[in-house]
Every structure is written in structure tokens, then in C-alpha cells.
Homo-oligomer: A and B are copies of this chain.
Amino acid sequence: MSIVTGFETLDVRFETSAMLDGSDAMNPDPDYSAAYLRVTTDAGDGIEGHAFVFTIGRGNDVQVAAIDAVAHRVVGRDVEAVLDDLGGFWREFVHDSQLRWLGPEKGVMHMAIGAVVNAFWDLKAKRAGLPLWQLLSRMSPEELVSLVDFRYLTDALTPDEALDLLRAAAPGRAEREAELLASGYPGYTTTPGWLGYSDDKLRRLAREAVDEGFTQIKLKVGDRLEDDIRRLGIARETVGPGIRIAIDANQRWDRDQAIEWIHALAPFDLAWVEEPTSPDDVLAHAAIARAVAPIRIATGEHGMSRVLFKQLLQAEAASVVQIDSTRVAGVNENVAILLLAAKFGVPVCPHAGGVGLCEAVQHFSMFDFVAVSGSMHDRLIEYTTHLHEHFVAPAVIEGGRYRAPLTPGTGMEMLASSLHAHTVDAALLA
């Protein structure tokens, strides 16, 4: 038996705004940041649980304060008891009535719970000597179902249905794992398409993306229609008809404006349109999806909880589900969302980029392929080039495909040297 001896939170920030990397119609100057958590035990095995919540700058200190408040409550806990019942652990915090008031199940407090949950997943995977995707892929359908909180989901997915789904996908797990280890998982790149880049830079990066083997690129849109038309023209001309081009409006439009704008961009053969409006607006997404069909609507990187994803699926408001590794309350909730997407037959194409999101979210797609949907069809993981060098196990992309990571853990651990160099004192920033 071992116990949690302590934790440390860190306010980690990168000055990405100086480069216009990550610039889009809603986020002109993000400073990619991580509200970082490190949990220690007395096991004497040198293993620590690392996790973070990704933010884009201001407010990262508030996210740190929330993680602090939750993490305080795990000091002294029996580590094995937590790791043996991570479903119960999730419910203990998400159902805590007083913390729940601050959401419920959304925003800063929900993401803080996610960081604490994920730190224990990191411990569990490292103790097992497995990357998270493999740890999850080797759990039984019963164990996986026990991770999920079905409260508010049963009108769309019951525990029995989830079990049936996972059992149906159990045959072939080993073959799919072997396939993944041999040839990886498809990625797509957003690197060419940031709104702040010049036309020349867009053209050059789009060409490089194709040369590198990517089969899809993504462009940020939504600021000025004439710019979008010009940039999409450049991109389509550069990559040719065989490469898919998705666009991302980052919530810039109202419902009717979205429909008009998407119709104007339709001639460029769009792989999907991402975040056309408020991420919380299920009904508007559904109306947009109906109006622009067969163009697909994608959303989810700001999806606050499994309850929102459930509704997006029920309303046929999203035909591409974009999970994010730190927006919801940790691994458990992303497992729930993968199950919901599988139930509705909708592909999951995770949001990544920022700092550490590629490293973290790839595990969910790989687990999905091995043990949930069993398919890579129409599924890709986002990729951007930034900041991988700060991680113990940087995401590796080859020929446009993510290589399956083999380092034990969730992928969220940053290098000690990077943590040291980029931790700030928020009081000095104010």
C-alpha cells in the first residue's frame, strides 16, 4: 500500500502570441499555457502522476487555484484504492455537491477535477508500464463501463448498451493493436492555416503538409469572407483536389450568418466546418448542419461535458466529434464520449495543438480504434508543430500519421527543464 504524499501545481506559460501561431478569428493572440499538476506518493518507485489543463494565457493562475483546491483533498489517500476504482474517484469529485455548484460539470472547476483524475491515470499507466491507450485497450468491457458516469446519459446510452458495444468490439483487439503499432493513426495538420499567416506562408506550409504525407489540412476562417475565399483558393490550388481541406470558424458566427458563410465557401470542397457558432448551442448547430448538408459540421473542443456531446449527437448537430484531452473531467469522461459517439456511429477526430494536446489526445483515438469503434475510417487526429519538445514523450508524426506512443503514462508529463524554464509567478504578470 502507498499513499499520496503531496502535490505541486505550476503556472506554466509560453509566449506563443509573439509568433501568431495559434491565431484564429476568436483567439488573435493566445499564449499557450498549462495549469500543471504533479502528484507524488510514498511508493518509492519514483513514479509521479502528471497532468495539466491547457489554457491560452490569462486565467491560467485561476485554473491553477482550482486544481490546488481539488488536489488538496487527495493528500493522504490510499493510492491503490483510488487506482482500483477510478470510476468511483471521478464520481466522488464530480458529484461533490459544493464543488458542483461552481459548474455544474463545466468550466474551471470541472477541468480542475479532470487534471486530478488524469494525474491518477498517469500513475496507473506508469505503474502498469503502459501508455494510456494500451492500458485502456486491455481493460475488460466491464472495467471500462465502470469508469463511466451514466447519470444524464441513459436516454441515449445505458450501461448495458455500452457493454454490448465494447463486447462487440472485443474480437480483433489484438489485430488492431498490431496494426496501430505497425502503421500508426492518421493525422491532419492545422499548421498552414492560422489566420495571422501571410498568403505566401499559407502556400508554402500547405505544400509542405502534402509533401510530408498529410491527407487533410485545416484553415482558420470567419474573420472576413473575402479573405477566406482568397485563402481557400490558394490552399485548394496548392494541394490539389485529392487532399481534404477542413475549415474552422472558432465560434465566430451566429446561426444564419454561419449558413450563408458556409454556402459561400462550399465550392472549395470542405472536409468539415468546425465550430461555426457557440459551442453550447446544440439547436443552432443542428439547424446549420441541416442547412448545409452534406457538408459536415464538427465541434467539441469546447464541449464542456458528456451531457453536451450527448445532445449534439441526439440532435444530429455534429457529424464529427472533436474531443479535447483537458476540457472535460479527465479520461473517464472522454471514455464516455467515445462510447456515445460509437453508439451514434459518428467519427471522433480529436482537437489537438496548443501545448501537450497532441501528446495527450492521441491515446483516445488509438484506444477508440482498438476497443471501441474499431475503425479509422474518416478519423484523424489534429496535429500542429508547436511545443512538442517540452514533453517527456513528444508526439511523433511520420508520413502524416501519428506513431503509437510506447512510453508509459498519459503523455502529459513535461520535461523538468521545461517546467522550470516556463513556470511563472502570476502575481508578477498582473
Known: A98-B57, A314-B283. A109 touches B107 (CB 8 A): yes
Residues on B with C-beta less than 8 A from A29 are 97-98
Mark out the residues of chain A between 274 and 307 whose CB falls within 8 Å of any chain B CB in the assembled complex: 277-284, 287, 302, 304-305, 307
Determine if A27 is an interface residue (Cβ-Cβ < 8 Å): yes
Determine if A84 is an interface residue (Cβ-Cβ < 8 Å): no
Determine if A240 is an interface residue (Cβ-Cβ < 8 Å): no
Of A28, A56, A98, A284, the most chain B CB neighbours within 10 A belong to: A98
Determine if A244 is an interface residue (Cβ-Cβ < 8 Å): no
Residues on B with C-beta less than 8 A from A430 are 72
Could you tell me if A154 and B106 are in contact, using CB atoms closer than 8 angstroms? no
Residues on B with C-beta less than 8 A from A31 are 98
Q: Mark A48-61, 1 if CB is under 8 A from B, else 0.
A: 00000001111101
Mark out the residues of chain A between 9 and 48 whose CB falls within 8 Å of any chain B CB in the assembled complex: 26-31
Residues on B with C-beta less than 8 A from A105 are 278, 280
Instruction: Tell me which of B109, B255, B256, B307 contacts A280 (CB under 8 A).
Output: B307
Instruction: Tell me which of B72, B278, B314 contacts A152 (CB under 8 A).
Output: B278
Instruction: Tell me which of B108, B151, B311, B314 contacts A108 (CB under 8 A).
Output: B108
Could you tell me if B280 and A304 are in contact, using CB atoms closer than 8 angstroms? yes
For residue A17, give the distance in angstroms from its CB to the closest CB of chain B.
9
Could you tell me if B63 and A27 are in contact, using CB atoms closer than 8 angstroms? no
Expressed in whole angstroms, the Cα–Cα distance for A55 and B61 within the complex equals 20
Determine if A80 is an interface residue (Cβ-Cβ < 8 Å): no
Known: A278-B307, A282-B282. A101 touches B65 (CB 8 A): no
Determine if A181 is an interface residue (Cβ-Cβ < 8 Å): no
Could you tell me if A255 and B106 are in contact, using CB atoms closer than 8 angstroms? no
Instruction: Tell me which of B59, B256, B311 contacts A283 (CB under 8 A).
Output: B311
Could you tell me if A104 and B59 are in contact, using CB atoms closer than 8 angstroms? no
Residues on B with C-beta less than 8 A from A279 are 104
Could you tell me if A304 and B106 are in contact, using CB atoms closer than 8 angstroms? yes
Residues on B with C-beta less than 8 A from A62 are 62, 65-66, 69, 102, 108-109, 112
Expressed in whole angstroms, the Cα–Cα distance for A331 and B314 within the complex equals 33
Determine if A171 is an interface residue (Cβ-Cβ < 8 Å): no
Determine if A100 is an interface residue (Cβ-Cβ < 8 Å): yes
Could you tell me if A56 and B97 are in contact, using CB atoms closer than 8 angstroms? yes
Determine if A96 is an interface residue (Cβ-Cβ < 8 Å): yes
Could you tell me if A152 and B284 are in contact, using CB atoms closer than 8 angstroms? yes
For residue A260, give the distance in angstroms from its CB to the closest CB of chain B.
12
11 extra A-B contacts, CB within 8 A, seeds A30-B98, A56-B97, A105-B278: A26-B97, A55-B98, A57-B101, A59-B99, A66-B108, A104-B279, A107-B108, A155-B287, A281-B310, A281-B311, A283-B311
Residues of A in contact with B (beta carbons under 8 Å apart): 26-31, 55-59, 61-63, 65-66, 69, 72, 96-112, 151-155, 251, 254-257, 277-284, 287, 302, 304-305, 307-308, 310-311, 314-315, 430
